[in-house]
Chains A and B, each alone.
Chain A
């Protein structure tokens, strides 16, 4: 049976919506194998002293759900999600600290998992529920339609990005850690990245999560306009290059030479390199400016992640083809 981690990133909601979220997770018809609460509060507290939480922790023990309460480093929720993403679980169910899933949500989402599936989401509903059946869920329509998950989903549908809370295949795509601490568009970029890797993203019916939009607290409680602008610019640049295979070679001369052998196999490449005399391209600084985090193209980091035993040449193939 696949191992599922449920991750909840929280800030400023100890006594508002977080207890509702934890209660909903505890009462799922399909329980996660582990629950981790990533506490990103400015003034974190030891919640074992709070009666409500004491009961939650005991119930988790009784139900056999491993759990941890980890203190996050206040760099933004994308860093938290990346920690969850790289913890060795097969699937991660990410639940926002103001999103309360109905009891069968995890069971429903998990029932759609398959080898070609990257992520599955249900409806994320805030009353009054808008009628948005015409939404396509395509990335190119993101500016002209409401998010498909904001309405009641009546049938399974393939989409290109997901929002808020969903179940995803862990360890195959990284969160963009180049985003600012507000992590604007982080889940859109992440799920679209899964889609670009060839995995299907699904929205499915009868998996409703109630989103208690709460202006107080929240992992994104940050108002600096320039941070949103910075993240939006990265998102727009990713869209701008969506029909290209972006290649960032931030490595040595030898790496460039090895890579040059597979370059003819890459469709429509957009190249950023250190040795343009070997592989002509724009500068690495430009890649950083455009996409924020360029570690997603770090072949050494990937080989480490993949526990790679094959050749460097084939590692480049896996990364880019």
Chain B
């Protein structure tokens, strides 16, 4: 079983968070094993098993049970790191050298896409699908894991 954590925190402006991976449906179509989506109420459901608003204790239990996980740059990658469960993080504009953990597979298409200032609100950074790696690359790493 694989956990996916598709969405970063919603922006106040209502715009799409530039850290949100745009190719989840394509990626999910390529994965041939059970997937559990975790997130919160109001987020788009991508797989039949969508578990919303789970307390941290339950997320930790799920982490113990899963083979691995895939997440955008959100709290979930930190939680999994804290629990000692490595997985895959899909990066775009935030810097994995600052906000990531070397224990994970950090997939960043290019450092040229990183936001110039990493420490401001993401409200002012536009979402750009071109800044993310393609699902086939994610799948290759999933197969290795």
List A residues at the B interface (Cβ < 8 Å). Answer: 252-254, 257-258, 260-261, 277-278, 300-301, 303-304, 308-312, 315
Contacts and interface: CB of A to CB of B under 8 A. Distances in A.
B98 A303 contact: yes
Nearest to A301: B119
B29 interface: no
Contact of B97 (A258, A304, A309): A309
Contact of A254 (B55, B78, B97, B120): B78
B23 interface: no
B119 A311 contact: no
B53 interface: no
* Max chain B Cβ within 10 angstroms of own Cβ: one of A277, A303, A312, A315: A312
How many chain B residues sit at the interface, stated as a range, is 10 to 19
A301 B120 CA distance: 8
27 contacts: A252-B9, A253-B75, A254-B74, A254-B77, A254-B78, A254-B99, A257-B75, A257-B78, A257-B79, A257-B81, A258-B82, A260-B82, A261-B82, A277-B56, A278-B56, A300-B120, A301-B119, A303-B98, A304-B117, A304-B119, A308-B119, A309-B97, A310-B97, A311-B97, A311-B98, A312-B98, A312-B99
B121 to A, nearest CB: 9
Closest 6 CB pairs of A and B: A254-B75, A253-B75, A304-B119, A257-B78, A254-B78, A300-B119
Given A254-B78, A257-B79, 18 more contacts: A252-B75, A254-B99, A257-B78, A260-B82, A261-B82, A278-B56, A300-B119, A300-B120, A301-B119, A303-B118, A303-B119, A308-B118, A309-B98, A310-B97, A310-B98, A311-B101, A312-B98, A315-B98
Of the candidates A254, A258, A278, the one having the most CB atoms from chain B within 10 angstroms of its own CB is: A254
Contacts of B100: 311
Contacts of A278: 56
A294 B117 CA distance: 22
Nearest to A302: B119
B29 to A, nearest CB: 28
Contacts of A277: 55-56
Contacts of B74: 254
A258 B98 contact: no
Nearest to B95: A309
A247 to B, nearest CB: 17
Nearest to B56: A277
A301 B119 CA distance: 7
Contacts of A253: 75, 78
Interface string B51-65: 000011000000000
